[in-house]
């Protein structure tokens, strides 16, 4: 965040702008209460600067410009004094009626009376710089905001509460102890320092190596909880793809008719499937056609299929496999795509050669459903869950790496530890091993913010909205 003045008092609207019950304007900084004194008229006549911390007060926001007092909005004002606030600064939150005119009026008055507009994520950045949270916890704030399922929310809350930070800090503390011992052995080589011996150093490094490897192995779970997966419903025209989409969503999102080719464009919706955020994509039926609109829809369908995490191939039980079905099956098999074969229209007479389908997909789950009456949908969702977690679903206590920044640092730190272990095995001088251990310490410090650069901070907080 270039040219940000951290001694300023900042203000922003902290709720989505639009019509609603409540909208919040948030102030943070040394002049928050002074600004509130100028614009807030409490029902009991007291000034905001006289209010105790963690108290809530009813009154009006008043515009005193041009010698007249004009009511801007009827509000509830909350005071949170330093250091026990989100930013560890004086914080004032003004609960207004949520409407563009009301929020803008209150925001403008704060700006006129000495505040400046907050940059994206600046409230959370101040919480980090003032020592209330570390960078892992700051990133977890964003994960909480973006959480799409209860499980992803629980994971983000665990990280926000410091579970993952504590694990990283423990490893870093162990490495600092190892590094201090090795440095002492270099500085006082004639006097063997007391404490752990060289064999203990090797065991400790090996233990750290295993812990970091576990974090990296579980990072895919964190990524899935944060970003979710993309499941593409594919198949030839009129097999029931849109009906399946509606059955999983439990609402009529896609148009369904008996006419083949009804869906000519992709339709995306995010749905919670057994705690997993799934972007479900309904695609146009893949077939040969000369219709311009249909050809474009089919081109997009193929592109989505190539980029899918899971292909949900829908076949029609009431008819035999045709050329279009076989072309799609070949595409999925050639791409070695994770897939589930869905035999739809289980309520109709079976004309499909199911044994042939099983031979074509020997290791891919096959589920019989009737999208029309919701039969088999729960079984399909369980199959999706099993493919995603591969039998290792994260529990309620899961805490770990949730983004590429954290994962990249863990991989670099593991590489440093591997080099240290290999150097030890090769009986290289102790100062060579020290270089790699120190590099790993600095890397782990980047995860929590002990050694993070301003450039990295800017990148992290640029993803936040203004007001958080």
pLDDT at 188: 57
Q: Check pLDDT > 50 for residue 261.
A: no
Residue 278, φ and ψ in degrees, nearest 5: -115, 125
> Distance of CA 350 to CAs 142, 317, 358, Å?
49, 5, 15
Band the pLDDT of 6: cuts 50, 70, 90: confident
Cβ–Cβ < 8 Å for 24, 97 = no
Q: Encode pLDDT of 183-192 as tens digits.
A: 877 665 555 4
Domains and CATH numbers, the chain: 10-133 (3.30.1360.120), 141-224+403-449 (1.20.120.430), 232-389 (3.40.50.300)
Beta bridge partners of 58: 76
For residues 346 and 260, what is the distance between their CA atoms, to the nearest angstrom? 19
Band the pLDDT of 82: cuts 50, 70, 90: very high
The Cβ of residue 210 has, within 10 Å, a number of other Cβ atoms equal to 10
pLDDT at 190: 53
Cβ–Cβ < 8 Å for 286, 235 = yes
The Cβ of residue 343 has, within 10 Å, a number of other Cβ atoms equal to 22
Q: Check pLDDT > 60 for residue 3.
A: no
Band the pLDDT of 412: cuts 50, 70, 90: very high
225-230 average pLDDT score:
89
Q: Encode pLDDT of 158-173 as tens digits.
A: 999 999 999 999 999 9
> Residue with structure tokens 């009986």?
427
Q: Which residue has the higher pLDDT, 304 or 456?
A: 456
Q: Which residue has the higher pLDDT, 332 or 88?
A: 88
Token couple for 248? 């999983």
Beta bridge partners of 40: 61
Token couple for 318? 């009431």
Lowest average pLDDT, out of 45-54, 141-150, 194-203, 223-232, goes to 194-203
Q: Check pLDDT > 60 for residue 248.
A: yes
For residues 193 and 20, what is the distance between their CA atoms, to the nearest angstrom? 67
If you average pLDDT over every residue of the chain, what do you get? 85
Cβ–Cβ < 8 Å for 420, 440 = yes
Strand arrangement, sheet containing 229-234 = 267-273, 276-282, 229-234, 310-316, 339-344, 366-368
Beta bridge partners of 441: none
Lowest average pLDDT, out of 110-114, 138-142, 197-201, 438-442, goes to 197-201
For residues 377 and 370, what is the distance between their CA atoms, to the nearest angstrom? 8
The Cβ of residue 304 has, within 10 Å, a number of other Cβ atoms equal to 20
Q: Check pLDDT > 70 for residue 68.
A: yes
- What is the biggest distance separating any 2 CA atoms in the chain, rounded to whole angstroms? 88
In three-state form (DSSP H/G/I as H, E/B as E, the rest C), the secondary structure along the chain is CCCCCCCCCEEEECCCCCCEEEEEEEEECCCHHHHHHHHEEECCCCCHHHCCCCEEEEEEEEECHHHCCEEEEEEEEEEECCCCCCCCCCEEEEEEEECHHHHHHHHHHHHHCCCEECCCCHHHHHHHHCCCCCHHHHHHHHHHHHCCCHHHHHHHHHHHCCHHHHHHHHHHHHHHHHHHHHHHHHHCCCCCCCCCCHHHHHHHHHHHHHHHHHHHHHHHHHHHHHHCEEEEEECCCCCCHHHHHHHHHCCCCCCCCCCCCCCCCCEEEEEEECCEEEEEEECCCCCCCCCHHHHHHHHHHHHHHHHCCEEEEEEECCCCCCHHHHHHHHHHHHCCCCEEEEEECCCCCCCCCHHHHHHHCCCCCEEECECCCCECHHHHHHHHHHHHHCCCCCCCCCCCCCCHHHHHHHHHHHHHHHHHHHHHHCCCCHHHHHHHHHHHHHHHHHHHCCCCCHHHHHHHHCCCCCCC
Q: Check pLDDT > 70 for residue 194.
A: no
Q: Check pLDDT > 90 for residue 50.
A: yes
Question: Among residues of the chain, what percentage have pLDDT more than 90?
Answer: 48
For residues 25 and 22, what is the distance between their CA atoms, to the nearest angstrom? 10
Contact partners, residue 415, CB within 8 Å, separation at least 6: none
For residues 248 and 240, what is the distance between their CA atoms, to the nearest angstrom? 12
For residues 351 and 370, what is the distance between their CA atoms, to the nearest angstrom? 15
Cβ–Cβ < 8 Å for 41, 74 = no
| β 116-117/310-316 pair status | unpaired
For residues 458 and 129, what is the distance between their CA atoms, to the nearest angstrom? 13
Q: Encode pLDDT of 9-46 as tens digits.
A: 999 999 887 777 899 999 999 999 999 999 999 998 89
pLDDT at 19: 77
Cβ–Cβ < 8 Å for 90, 29 = yes
403-420 average pLDDT score:
93
Lowest average pLDDT, out of 101-115, 179-193, 368-382, goes to 179-193
pLDDT at 260: 43
């Amino acid at each position: 965040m270039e040219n940000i003045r951290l001694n300023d008092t900042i203000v922003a609207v902290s709720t989505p702008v639009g019509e609603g019950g409540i909208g919040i304007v948030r102030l943070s900084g040394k002049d928050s209460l002074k600004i509130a004194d100028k614009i807030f008229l409490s029902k009991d006549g007291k000034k905001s600067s006289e209010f105790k911390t963690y108290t809530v007060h009813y009154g009006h926001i008043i515009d005193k410009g041009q010698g007249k007092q004009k009511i801007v909005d009827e509000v509830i004002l909350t005071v949170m004094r330093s250091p026990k606030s989100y930013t560890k600064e004086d914080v004032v939150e003004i609960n207004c009626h949520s409407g563009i005119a009301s929020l803008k009026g209150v925001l403008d008055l704060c700006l006129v009376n000495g505040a400046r507009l907050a940059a994206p994520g600046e409230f959370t950045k101040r919480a980090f710089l003032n020592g209330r949270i570390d960078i892992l916890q700051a990133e977890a704030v964003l994960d909480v905001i973006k959480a799409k399922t209860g499980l992803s929310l629980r994971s983000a809350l665990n990280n926000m509460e410091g579970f993952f930070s504590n694990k990283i800090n423990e490893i870093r503390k162990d490495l600092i102890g190892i590094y201090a011992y090795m440095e002492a052995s270099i500085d006082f080589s004639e006097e063997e320092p007391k404490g752990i011996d060289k064999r203990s150093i090797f065991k400790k490094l090996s233990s750290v190596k295993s812990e970091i490897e576990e974090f990296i192995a579980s990072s895919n779970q964190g990524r899935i909880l944060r970003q979710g997966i993309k499941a593409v419903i594919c198949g030839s025209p009129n097999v029931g793809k849109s009906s399946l989409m509606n059955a999983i969503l439990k609402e009529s999102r896609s148009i369904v008719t008996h006419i083949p080719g009804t869906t000519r464009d992709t339709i995306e919706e995010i749905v919670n499937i057994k705690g997993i955020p799934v972007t479900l994509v309904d695609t146009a039926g893949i077939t040969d056609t000369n219709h311009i609109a249909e050809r474009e829809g089919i081109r997009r369908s193929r592109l989505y299929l190539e980029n899918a995490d899971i292909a949900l191939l829908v076949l029609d039980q009431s008819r035999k496999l045709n050329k279009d079905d076989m072309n799609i099956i070949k595409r999925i098999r050639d791409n070695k795509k994770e897939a589930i074969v869905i035999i739809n229209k289980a309520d109709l007479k079976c004309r499909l050669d199911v044994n042939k389908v099983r031979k074509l997909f020997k290791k891919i789950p096959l589920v019989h459903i009737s999208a029309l009456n919701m039969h088999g949908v729960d079984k399909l969702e369980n199959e999706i869950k099993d493919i995603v977690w591969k039998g290792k679903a994260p529990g309620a206590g899961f805490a770990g790496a949730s983004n590429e920044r954290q994962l990249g640092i863990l991989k670099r730190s593991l590489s440093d530890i591997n080099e240290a272990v290999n150097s030890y095995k090769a009986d290289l001088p102790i100062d060579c091993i020290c270089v790699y251990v120190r590099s790993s310490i600095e890397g782990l410090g980047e995860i929590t913010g002990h050694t993070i650069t301003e450039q990295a901070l800017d990148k992290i907080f640029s993803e936040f909205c203004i007001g958080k």
